[in-house]
Structure 1
Amino acid sequence: MKVAQIAILARVYGNVNADGVIGQRVTLKRMYSSDGETYPFVSARAIKYAIRQALREKGHDVDPFEHVGKRVIDSGDPIKYTDNDIFGFMRAPKGEKEIASRRQAPIAISYFKALKDTPITTEIGLRSPRTEGKNQKEIEKESRTLLPFEVEVAEFVGRINCIVYDYIGKYQGTEKLAEKKAVTSGEEFIPKPERRRRLRDFLEVFLTPSYVLPRRTNSLNIPEYICALIALSEKGAVPIFQYFDYVRKDGKLLVDVEKLDLLADRKEIAVIEKFLIDYHGSIPPDCPIGTKDLDDAITNIVNFLIPEEGAKASE
Structure 2
Amino acid sequence: MTEGNFVDYVKMHVSSGKGGQGSSHLHREKYLAKGGPDGGDGGRGGHVILKGNANLWTLLHLKFKRHIRAEHGGNGSSGRSSGSDGEDQYVEVPLGTVVRDTETNEVIFEITEDGEERIIAEGGKGGRGNWHFKSSTNQTPRYAQPGIPKEEKDITLELKLLADVGLVGFPNAGKSTLLSVLTSAKPKIADYEFTTLKPNLGIVKHREFQTFVMADIPGIIEGAAEGKGLGYYFLRHIERNSILLFMIPADAEDIKKQYDILLDELKRYNPEMLDKERMIAITKCDMLDDELKAELKEELDNNLPIDYMFISSVAQQGLKELKDRLWNMLNE
* TM-score class, shorter: under 0.3
Larger Rg: 2
